[in-house]
Amino acid sequence: VAQELLELSPSSAANFKSCPQLFKFRSIERLEEPVSSGQARGSLVHAALERLFAEPPDRRSPDHASALLRGLWAEVRGDPEWRPSELGVDEEDRWLRAGESLLANLFKIEDPCHVEASRLEWWVECELPDLYLRGIIDRVEEDRDGSWILTDYKTGRTPGESRELAASFGVRFYALMCWRSHGVLPRELRLVYLADPVVLRWRPTERSLLAFERQLCALRDAIKRAAARDDWRARPSPLCLHCSFQDRCPAWQETAQTD
C-alpha cells in the first residue's frame, strides 16, 4: 500500500477512521468474515429494492416488494455469501418478515410508483492523486433540469443528531465521485433509514466537496504512513462487540484478560 495507488470505498475508508487494525484485517489481509444476520438482511433488502425499481411503476406495491424479497431468498438461501451463518431453518420466516417490514416502511416515506430511477446499484469510480475511489450508489434520479439526487438505503437504526454528519460520509463520498468523474454536482443526497423510517437530506456544494476531498487525501496519507510503518492501531470502541476479529485483535485480547 505504501507505494501503490491506494484503493478506497466508503466502507473501507470508514473502517480506517474507526479502527486502523480493523482496516488491516479487512482491506490489507482480506480475511474472511462470517455473514451476520443484519448484513444478510441488508443485502437482500437492497437487492429486492433494485428489482422493485426496475419494475414498471404500477407493479411497485408492498406485496410485490415482499414477493421479490422471498423470490430472491429462494435463489440464494443456500449460498454462504448470502446466508447468515447463525440462521437456523426454523428462524428463516421470522427473519424474512423483518426484511419485509423494512420494505413496507419505504412506502410510508415515498410512493415508489412516482420514482423514476435513472440508475440502480450504479458502479462509480474516480482517481485523485495516489488514490482510487470506488463505490456502488443504490439509486440515482435525474430531474428534468438535469440535476441528480443520490439515494442510499440503510437498514440499521437512524443515527442520533450528533452522528448525522458522520453518517453522511458514504453519500458525500458518492457525491465527490459523481462530481470528479462525471462533472455533475448532485443536487441532493439522501439517506433513507428503512427501520424507523426516516430520510436525512443534504445539499452538497463545491466548497463542501472540496473540503471532503481534502479529508480523503489526509486519510490517504494516514493510511500510507500506517502501511510504511506497519503500525495499525487498534481503537477499541462499542463496535468491538460486533467485530469478527476479536480472537486476532491484540486490544480485544487485552480487554478480555483484564475483565
CA-based end-to-end distance of the chain:
36
Unique residue bearing C-alpha cell 439522501? 190
Smallest gap, in angstroms, from Cβ of residue 147 to ligand SF4?
Answer: 39
Cβ 103 to ligand SF4 shortest distance, Å: 30
| The one among 22, 137, 140, 223 contacting ligand SF4 by CB under 6 A | 22
Q: Kindly state whether residue 159 participates in binding ligand SF4, applying the rule CB under 6 A.
A: no
Question: Could you count the other beta carbons within 10 Å of the beta carbon of residue 204?
Answer: 22
**Does the bond joining 62 to the residue before it have cis omega, within 30 degrees of 0?**
no
Please give the single-letter amino acid code of residue 226.
Answer: A
Q: Which residues pair with 192 in a beta bridge?
A: 153, 199
* φ/ψ of residue 77, rounded to 5: -60, -20
Q: What is the DSSP letter of 224?
A: H
State the Cα angle at 43 between 49 and 113, rounded to 5°: 5
Using the rule CB under 6 A, which residue among 6, 14, 19, 102 binds ligand SF4? Answer: 19
Size of the residue set binding ligand SF4 (CB under 6 A): 14
If one asks whether residue 251 binds ligand SF4 (CB under 6 A), the answer comes out as yes
Maximal CA-CA distance, the chain: 61
* Segment interacting with ligand SF4, rule: CB under 6 A, options 14-22, 51-59, 97-105, 161-169: 14-22
Nearer to ligand SF4, 144 or 242 (CB): 242
Binding status of residue 14 toward ligand SF4 by CB under 6 A: no
Judged by beta carbon, residue 22 or residue 124, the one nearer ligand SF4 is 22
**Residues 192-231, mask of contacts with ligand SF4 (x by CB under 6 A):** ----------------------------------------
Amino acid at 224: K
What would the x/- binding string for ligand SF4 be over residues 228 to 247, using CB under 6 A? Answer: ------xxx--xx--x-xx-
Rounded Cα distance between 66 and 63, Å, is 5
> Which residues of the chain form contacts with ligand SF4 (CB under 6 A)?
19, 21-22, 234-236, 239-240, 243, 245-246, 249, 251-252
